[in-house]
Chain A
Amino acid sequence: NAGVTQTPKFQVLKTGQSMTLQCAQDMNHNSMYWYRQDPGMGLRLIYYSASEGTTDKGEVPNGYNVSRLNKREFSLRLESAAPSQTSVYFCASREGGFQPQHFGDGTRLSIL
């Protein structure tokens, strides 16, 4: 059972380049999330999708866009990467109610 799969695992970009981070879940969950994790900051929510066809901004949405392609897939796009976006990005999914989030193993992104 794969759970939540993120690709790629590592990426190095130059300032100004664009990139899409992919996330797919095989648990038939309704909600999906994108977080970034920086030292001493915990996880901060970038965008989330409560259900297929809807997306909402989280705490730190600036510089990012998302697409809920279908129930399984939720992608995160950086249109013009900046060094401040160097971080570890995590995708998560959950069923709803009091059910927990299930996380992928992260994408480590460095922007030079």
Chain B
Amino acid sequence: TQLLEQSPQFLSIQEGENLTVYCNSSSVFSSLQWYRQEPGEGPVLLVTVVTGGEVKKLKRLTFQFGDARKDSSLHITAAQPGDTGLYLCAGRYTGNQFYFGTGTSLTVIP
């Protein structure tokens, strides 16, 4: 059973376009993290959101945690080829166990 569903699974866009990736669950998380993974490497943390309704910005990336802390979104403005990679969300209830989403593979075409 996949507790976190990400959509879309694959995304191919032109450089300069905007995009949004979604991470949804029926469960309430105490915190949620977004990671980016490049081929042959482990995931690298982008952001952690903790409070319902929280919005965080990291240059052209905007992350939002849903009011009920069951969902999150990642919006990229003016995508660049360097944004290409696999984007993963990961939620934590309490304790030390994390549940990862299915991932969104993004390709930005120059």
Classify chain B: how many residues form its interface, as a range: 20 to 34
Question: Chain A 72-106, CB within 8 Å of chain B: the 1/0 string?
Answer: 00000000000000000010100010101111111
- B72 to nearest A CB, angstroms? 14
Please, how many angstroms separate the alpha-carbon atoms of A34 and B44 in the complex? Answer: 16
Whether B41 and A45, one on each chain, are in contact in the complex, defined by CB atoms closer than 8 angstroms, is no
Q: A48 contacts B97, CB within 8 Å?
A: yes
Q: Is the CB of A100 within 8 A of B40?
A: no
Count chain A residues whose beta carbon lies closer than 8 angstroms to a beta carbon of B.
26
Chain A residues near B43 (CB-CB < 8 A): 43, 90, 101, 103
**B6 nearest CB across to chain A (Å):** 8
Residues of A that sit less than 8 Å from B by CB: 4, 31, 33, 35, 40-45, 48, 50, 56, 58-59, 90, 92, 96, 98, 100-106
Q: Return 26 A-B CB contacts under 8 Å, by A number.
A: A4-B42, A40-B9, A40-B102, A41-B102, A42-B4, A42-B100, A42-B103, A43-B43, A43-B90, A45-B98, A90-B43, A98-B31, A98-B50, A100-B33, A100-B45, A100-B48, A101-B33, A101-B43, A101-B90, A102-B45, A103-B42, A103-B43, A103-B44, A104-B42, A105-B40, A105-B42
